[in-house]
Structure formats: C-alpha cells, structure tokens
C-alpha cells in the first residue's frame, strides 16, 4: 500500500463524541473521495469553499495493525496556536517511518455536480497534499486586496493532480486545488478563471464561510454563552470544529508570516 493511501485511509468513528463531525474529504491514490457522502466516487471537478479561520496544523500518531490514530493534536493557525513539542513515544512503523505524521485540516463547503452544498473537513495527510493546500491558500491571499476576506471567500476546484517519482512508491499523484473564483454571502460571484461557471456558488447564500461568519457557523455550541451563529450555526454544526475561546467576529492578524495565509 502506498504512502498516500496508508496515511489517509482511516475513519474517525472511533472518537466517542456527542457532537457529529463533518464527513472527511481526502485525496487517496489519485482520487478525491468522501465516502460518507458520495461512496467511493471520484470527486474530481468538485468545488470547495474553505473556512479560512478553521485551518489547523495536525500531528497524528499511527501504529501498525490499527487503521485509526492512537493520538492526535490540532492547532488553529489563524489564532496563533502551536502544536505540542513534547509528544508521547510510539514504536516506529514496520516501514521504518516515525509513528507521528504531520498534516493539515480545513473546513468548508463542498459542491459536487448533481448534489447540494455539504459541510466537509478537507484532510491533507501527506507532504505533497499539504503543499497543494498551502499553494491554494497563497493564491487566495493574493486576491485579498481586491476581494477583502471579510466579505469574499475563495472557491477552489479540485482537479486531477500531477505526479512525482518516489524512489519507494513509484509515481505518487499530487492533488491540485485551483482558485477559480470568489463568492459573497449575498450570492455575488466573481470568476477569476476566464469563462469559469460560478453559477453553483450563487446558491450558497448565508452558508458562505467568510471569516466573520465561519467561526460561528462552524463552531458547535458548547453552552449558553456561545451563541451568535443563528441559522448558519445550525446548518454548519456538523463540522464538529470548535474554535477555541474566540468570538464569532475574530480579527485577523496583520503581521503574520508569509507562510501563514492572510
């Protein structure tokens, strides 16, 4: 089994949480898949509108003979969180790789032809997939002056990837997330790729995950003190992501490193 499949072929059903979690969207063996919503259909060509404040770095521990993590940590990038530096020790994998694997996650809305928009969590569990997520975020950042992030959200299309030659695994396919347009919560759309059909994005409406809305829309209510999501919060509650201790309108840092979007 190649690296791409091994790292991403797992279920989060083992997490005993009362709150539902969004379906996992991942890139495995050259295909975009989200079995909870679309079985094993290839979702190439689908549209993904990311919730920028939900971007988080992850580190996950795997052991042989178990298809789910034994331990996982997440850190919200936009709010300055850092992953722990002291990690529990686990035996190396049979292939010699360390048990701990770095990754990234970001929540968003997914559209696939013939269906409605659905909340999902995009998981990038390999170096190549993480690079592509960062590239898509950088392209989105370059549009921020013309399309302020407080009002507009990027629209990525999931396209067939390129590949590189890995000495162990042979041809490893690389996912591509192409920035094709921008969308506002009032249904206004703007194609950045000439001629691209942005019509499906007009139906997103209040479900567009702009920074001001997405913290409330994607956060699960944890008690009486955490409101402010309205109908959007109910619609997005399935994301299973709680932004830690932040108000529904969270300021974005102005002096972040270039490697951190926006």
pLDDT tens, per residue, the chain with 262 residues:
333 333 334 444 444 444 567 899 999 878 899 999 998 888 999 999 998 888 999 999 999 988 888 999 999 888 888 999 999 999 999 988 899 999 999 999 999 998 999 999 999 988 889 999 999 999 999 898 899 888 899 999 999 877 778 787 777 788 999 999 999 988 899 999 999 999 999 999 888 887 765 555 454 333 333 333 333 333 344 344 445 545 443 444 443 345 544 5
Two tokens, residue 62: 């795997």
pLDDT in tens, 27-55: 987 889 999 999 888 899 999 999 888 89
Kindly state whether residue 28 falls inside one of the protein's structural domains. Answer: yes
- Closest by Cα among 159, 160, 137, 155 to 191: 155
Kindly state whether residue 204 falls inside one of the protein's structural domains. Answer: yes
Residue 60's H or E segment, with its range, is: strand 56-61
Compute the distance between CA of residue 136 and CA of residue 190 in angstroms, rounded to an integer: 17
Q: In 3-state terms, what secondary structure has residue 252?
A: coil
Two tokens, residue 79: 């709010």
Kindly state whether residue 244 falls inside one of the protein's structural domains. Answer: no
Kindly state whether residue 8 falls inside one of the protein's structural domains. Answer: yes
Kindly state whether residue 215 falls inside one of the protein's structural domains. Answer: yes
Kindly state whether residue 57 falls inside one of the protein's structural domains. Answer: yes
- Closest by Cα among 117, 103, 140 to 26: 103
Compute the distance between CA of residue 210 and CA of residue 98 in angstroms, rounded to an integer: 37
In 132-193, the DSSP E strands lie at 152-166, 170-184, 189-191
Strand 118-124 relative to strand 24-28: parallel, antiparallel, unpaired? Answer: parallel
Tally of domains within the chain? 1
Kindly state whether residue 256 falls inside one of the protein's structural domains. Answer: no
Compute the distance between CA of residue 97 and CA of residue 190 in angstroms, rounded to an integer: 44
Rounded to a whole number, what is the largest CA-CA distance in the chain?
A: 54
Domain span at residue 124? Answer: 3-83+96-239
164: how many CB neighbours lie within 10 A of its CB? 11
Asked whether the beta carbons of 240 and 222 are under 8 A apart, the reply is no
């Amino acid at each position: 089994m190649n690296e791409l499949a091994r790292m991403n072929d797992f279920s989060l059903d083992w997490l005993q949480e009362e709150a539902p979690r969004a379906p996992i969207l991942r890139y495995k063996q050259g295909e975009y898949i989200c079995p909870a919503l679309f079985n094993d259909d290839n979702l190439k060509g689908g549209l993904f509108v990311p919730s920028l404040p939900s971007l988080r770095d992850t580190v996950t521990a795997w052991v042989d003979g178990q298809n789910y993590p034994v331990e996982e940590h997440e850190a919200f990038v936009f709010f300055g969180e850092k992953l722990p530096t002291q990690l529990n020790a686990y035996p190396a994998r049979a292939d010699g790789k360390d048990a701990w694997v770095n990754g990234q996650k970001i929540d968003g809305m997914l559209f696939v032809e013939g269906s409605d928009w659905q909340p999902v969590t995009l998981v990038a569990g390999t170096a190549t997939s993480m690079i592509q997520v960062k590239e898509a975020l950088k392209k989105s950042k370059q549009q921020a002056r013309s399309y302020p992030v407080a009002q507009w959200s990027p629209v990525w299309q999931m396209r067939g990837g390129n590949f590189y030659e890995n000495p162990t695994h042979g041809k490893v396919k690389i996912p591509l997330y192409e920035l094709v347009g921008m969308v506002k919560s009032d249904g206004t759309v703007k194609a950045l790729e000439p001629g691209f059909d942005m019509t499906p994005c007009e139906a997103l409406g209040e479900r567009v995950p702009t920074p001001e809305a997405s913290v409330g829309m994607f956060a699960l209510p944890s008690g009486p003190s955490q409101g402010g999501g309205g109908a959007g919060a109910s619609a997005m509650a399935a994301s299973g992501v709680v932004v830690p201790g932040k108000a529904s309108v969270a300021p974005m840092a102005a002096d972040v490193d270039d490697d951190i979007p926006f």
